[in-house]
Every structure is written in C-alpha cells, then in structure tokens.
Amino acid sequence: MSGTALHYFSGGNTARGYFSLFDSNFTGLEKVFILKGGPGTEKSILMKNIAKDWQEKGYDVELVHCSSDSDSLDGVIFPTLKIGIVDGTEPHVIEPKAPGAIEEYVNLGDAWDSLQLSAKKDEIIQLIKERKEAYDKAYQTYAEALAVHDEWEKIYITNMDFEKLNKVTEQLKTTFFGEIFLNKQANIQHRFLGAATPKGAVDYVPNLTENIRKRYFLKGRPGSGKSTLLKKLASVALNRGFDVEIYHCGFDPNSLDMVILRELDIAIFDSTAPHEYFPDREGDEIVDLYKLAIVPGTDEKYEEQIKKISTRYRNKMNEGTSCLAEAKKSNDKLEGIYQKAVDFTIIVDIQKKIETTLVEFTKETNVD
C-alpha cells in the first residue's frame, strides 16, 4: 500500500522579500541531504523520483514545493524515517547544524562540463542579473500592494467590535480544547498556506486538510481579525501541549492563514480569496467574522472607497505576478544552458547513491 503525500511551501515570494521557513521543517531530522548545483541539474526531478519510489514502498512523504515554480520541488521529507532531501542553493540556503553527522552535501555540479559552461559565461551572468532584477521588482511591487492592503484593512479595523471578536475566539477555544492539557512538549511547524508564483496564487489546502474531520472556514474582510484569531488559537494549543502546524500567509508572512491541530482532527483557515473554499463535506463549518464582529453596513458605507482600493491592490498583485513570470523566463533560459552541459548518467548515479544511503539508514535505525 502506498504512503500518503502532503504538499506545502516552505519558502515564499512575499511583500517582505523572499521569506524562508525551511528550518522549521528540516530541523529535527536525523539525516538531511543538501543538494548543491545550479539550474538545470535536475534537483527537483531527482527528489520527485526518490519520493515516488519510497511512497510506493509505503512511506509517507512531504513534498515541499518551489514558490517560483510550483511544479518543481524544493525539498522532500520522509517523516517516519526522519530523513530529508533539500535544494540548498540560493535563495533557500540551508545552514548545517551538524555537518557530516546529520547533513550531507550532494554536489550535482560534478555532472557539469565546466568548459562548456565557461563558453557561455557572459550569457549566464546576464541571465542571473536579469533574474535578480525581476525578483527585486516583484518584491518591491508586493510591498506596494501590502501598503494598499493596509488601507483596506484599516476600514474594517476601525469598524471592529473587538469584544465580539474576543467572544468568538473564546468560544472556539472552548470548543477546540475544553479543559484538556497534554503532558508533553508541543511540536510546532511553520509553513506557508500558499505562494505567489509566476502563475498566480497557488495553495494546497484540499490536500493539507484531506484527512481532517472538522474544518472551520474563516470568512470575512481584510482586517476583520482572521489572523489575530488564528494566532491566539495557536498560542493556546502550544501552551496546552498540542502539536501545531502554523501556515503563514504567502503574501505577508507576519500574518497567519491556517492552523492545523491533527491530534484534535481540526483545521481552521482563512477561506477568502485567493484561497477561497466552501464547505463540501460533513464536519465543515463557516465562521464569518464580518457578520460576527464588524459593524453592520460597513461594506455599504465604504463601497466606493473599497472598490478603488481593491482595484489598486489587484493591479499591483498582477504586476508582481508578471515580474515573477519574467524571473522564471530568465531561469528557464539558464536551465537550458546548464542542461546541455550536464551528464545525466552522473545525476542518475547520484540518485542511486542517495537511495542506497536511505536503505542503509533505515536498517541502522530499524525502521520498517
């Protein structure tokens, strides 16, 4: 029987620049393979192949997707084995905690024909420059979009009944936890709910909540307290010893979009655009903070102002997406250059060596 696959992002192209949460997911593993090598060395394909092989053997896998190309992987984790494989190249550089003992560098650059790449040196340098400029422009544009979003939030914050919001939070706290305290240290993992990609916003909410019995869909407006509510519930869970998966906003990593409490079979998440979902199975429930905690008539009172702000925000977000698409074009050209200079038989040998190490490691740790 095949294992399950969990999909998520650990890095994001955000309004605060590239933001990494890799340490939260790769810390605590007993073995981590850090892949080094430029674009076109098939790091993602290598990880996909190994993940597929081991999932077919019955092992659960976590697939960490790339925010600059959601079809590619930045990492793979085998939670029961406590083994991970990660792309350790910029911008998600992984700093080893115990080099050799836990982390092992794998240099895919061994497969390059350096002379062939040297002949393309000027073109490579130019494409790297263009890619960086496109990313910088994307981050600047997203920062401008965040400033617009803050204007949007202010409307609802100034029309918030904080007493009612606190009441909703307390009701959910009681419903989730009751009087339960677990006698253990809570485990916390920080991830991204979704990511801004060259194709627009991408998320894996259906996959992440697939096996969750009770799902709460937070509805509302910008500034209606969704992130604040999630932070408070996460804090309570940690204080009571519950393991918590905290999913940050792919646009503003200082905000939260989802909290999953697998020990309680509960997920609660911001279910508004660009990750808007609706109940579709037993156990799903909507919590509408606009109806519960915002002064009635706020939408109507500020209708014209909100329309202008939302248009400015949408235009900035579309501009940022276009910048990411330009960065991907440059990266695709780089990959094309490197792929022509790579001996893929060496990449296959490297994959086999990693898999052999995985087999040996499972024997040493007596993992079936």
Question: Residue 366: pLDDT above 70?
Answer: no
Question: What pLDDT is recorded for position 340?
Answer: 94
**What is the 3 state secondary structure string of 129-176?**
HHHHHHHHHHHHHHHHHHHHHHHHHHHHHCCECHHHHHHHHHHHHHHH
Cβ atoms of 87 and 80 closer than 8 Å: no
Question: What pLDDT is recorded for position 368?
Answer: 54
Cβ atoms of 76 and 355 closer than 8 Å: no
Question: What pLDDT is recorded for position 362?
Answer: 79
Report the pLDDT averaged over residues 9-18: 97
Question: What pLDDT is recorded for position 360?
Answer: 86
Span 71-105, pLDDT tens digits:
999 999 999 999 999 999 888 777 788 888 899 99
Report the pLDDT averaged over residues 40-60: 94
Alpha carbon distance 257, 247 (integer Å): 6
Span 180-207, pLDDT tens digits:
999 999 999 999 999 999 999 999 999 9
Span 278-318, pLDDT tens digits:
999 999 999 999 999 999 999 999 999 999 999 999 999 99
Span 107-129, pLDDT tens digits:
999 999 999 999 999 999 999 99
Question: Residue 367: pLDDT above 70?
Answer: no
Span 223-280, pLDDT tens digits:
999 999 999 999 999 999 999 999 999 999 999 999 999 999 999 999 999 999 999 9
The end-to-end CA distance of the chain, in Å, is: 14
Question: What pLDDT is recorded for position 179?
Answer: 95
- Which two structure tokens, joined as six digits, stand for 230? 């999630």
Alpha carbon distance 284, 261 (integer Å): 15
The residues with which 65 forms a beta bridge, in sequence order, are: 9, 73
Question: What pLDDT is recorded for position 115?
Answer: 94
| Cα dist from 106 to 70, 86, 89, 261, 310, whole Å | 23, 10, 11, 35, 46
Query: Buried b / exposed e across 119-139, counting CB within 10 Å, b at 16+?
Result: eeeeebeebbebbeebbebbb
Task: Check residue 4 and report its DSSP letter.
Answer: P
Element (H, E) at 213: none
Span 268-284, pLDDT tens digits:
999 999 999 999 999 99
Residues contacting 105, CB < 8 A, separation 6+: 34, 36, 88, 99
Burial of 360 by CB count in 10 Å (0-12 exposed, 13-18 middle, 19+ buried)?
exposed
Per DSSP, the three-state class of 94 is coil
Amino acid at position 253, single letter: P
Question: Residue 364: pLDDT above 80?
Answer: no
Span 149-169, pLDDT tens digits:
999 999 999 999 999 999 999
- Which two structure tokens, joined as six digits, stand for 105? 């560098």
| Cα dist from 257 to 9, 138, 158, 230, 251, whole Å | 13, 22, 21, 7, 10
- Which two structure tokens, joined as six digits, stand for 290? 């606009």
Would strands 244-248 and 188-192 be described as parallel, antiparallel, or unpaired? parallel
Query: Buried b / exposed e across 31-64, counting CB within 10 Å, b at 16+?
Result: bbbbbbbbbbbbbbebbbbbbeebbeeebbbbbb
As a whole number, the mean pLDDT across the chain is: 95
